[in-house]
Amino acid sequence: MSKLHNYFHEMNIDISWYDQHVSPSVNRIALSLEDLEKDVSSCTKCMLHETRHQTVFGEGPICSEIMIVGEAPGKEEDEQGIPFVGRAGKLLNLFLESIDVNRKSVFITNTVKCRPPDNRNPMIEEINACSNFLEKQIKIVNPKVLVLLGKVAANRLLGEDKVMSELRQKIFHIDKFAIPIIVFYHPAYILRSPLKKFDMWEDLKFLNTILKDNVS
């Protein structure tokens, strides 16, 4: 019995409706994500599998309101198997906290699931090899808003080769997903260009507005 079930039992709350209708659906979603992670872990579709320590599938609760898509795992992510655990990840956590969003409530992943050597940008064939995995993740999690970090993620999902100034502070919609999509600077870029943190703050407020207004 889960902690939630224990709590309801102690409070003498009838949860038969939840068990009958909601719980099976949630379990099916969890199993779908688990199966997908197994597929990713055994993937050999591109050359990156030859140099990875492990795949970095992503992490976060199913049915998260926010889903974040970055570029690719770095050295620390490759070692730990968790996305955004290095300096950029720590900065991302601080950004989220600034709008009262706990990282643990967000599903975070990358366009590619293996680290490119020397942290180079992923090549188009590597991005394409992972594209089906990413699209399935988005459909399974089905967030209220999809946040793309940097040009690599934005170009991959939006299919538009534009500079960041043309992508920020806008809501995009694509046929594959009935989800509002927005674009942020990648935290790694903010580390290299600290003055851009003011732009990032504006983007975070933009995200907060979308969540509060439930824009779709």
Q: For the chain, what percent of residues have pLDDT higher than 90?
A: 75
pTM given for the model: 0.84
Is residue 9 situated within a structural domain? Answer: no
What Å distances lie between residue 130 and 16, 76, 209, CA to CA? 40, 20, 31
Is residue 158 situated within a structural domain? Answer: yes
Is residue 170 situated within a structural domain? Answer: yes
Is residue 72 situated within a structural domain? Answer: yes
Is residue 7 situated within a structural domain? Answer: no
* Distance from C-alpha of 100 to C-alpha of 88, rounded to nearest angstrom: 19
* Distance from C-alpha of 132 to C-alpha of 41, rounded to nearest angstrom: 14
Give the model's pLDDT for residue 15: 52
- Structural domain of residue 99, as residue ranges? 17-213
Is residue 38 situated within a structural domain? Answer: yes
Overall number of domains in the chain: 1
Is residue 3 situated within a structural domain? Answer: no
Tell me the CATH number at 36: 3.40.470.10
Is residue 4 situated within a structural domain? Answer: no
CB atoms within 10 A of CB 26: 12
Cβ neighbors of 94 (< 8 A, separation 6 or more) are: none
Backbone angles phi, psi at 206, to 5 degrees: -65, -45
Average pLDDT score over residue span 68-96:
96
